[in-house]
Amino acid sequence: MPGLGVHTDRIIIILYDKAIAYLNQAIRELDADNLPAAGANVKNAQDIVMELNSSLDLVGGSNVATNLHRVYNFVSKHLTKANTEHNPQMLREAIALLEDLNLSWKTAIG
């Protein structure tokens, strides 16, 4: 997947950063017992994950695309459950996965 182009690579990193920021804000909102704001932040992060997922080339793509598809689906389901249960630990788990992917992407593109 890396090597799609400087602009595309940069956009993907920005999307990861933004999703992580939304989830960190969701945790802060949960801590403040502001459930509507927490839910909105989780939804924003989930929208980003779904957009990343929909951009994968699963037909002509590599095993990387297939594996990312699985991870994105897992994260999306995890975020739905975390949002429903108002569970900050589940949000932290999603953040950890996204941070790992983001670091891998940054490393791969140099």
pLDDT, tens digit, for every residue of 67-104? 999 999 999 999 999 999 999 999 999 999 999 999 99
CA dist list (Å): 54 to 14, 29, 38, 86? 16, 28, 24, 26
Q: Is a pLDDT exceeding 90 seen at residue 62?
A: no
The model carries a pTM of 0.90
Task: Compute the residue count for the chain.
Answer: 110
Domain with residues 6-109, CATH architecture: Up-down Bundle (1.20)
Rounded Cα gap, residues 27 and 44, in angstroms: 13
Other beta carbons within 10 angstroms of residue 28's beta carbon come to: 14
Segments making up each domain of the chain, as ranges:
6-109
Rounded Cα gap, residues 71 and 110, in angstroms: 23
Whole-number pLDDT of residue 43: 98
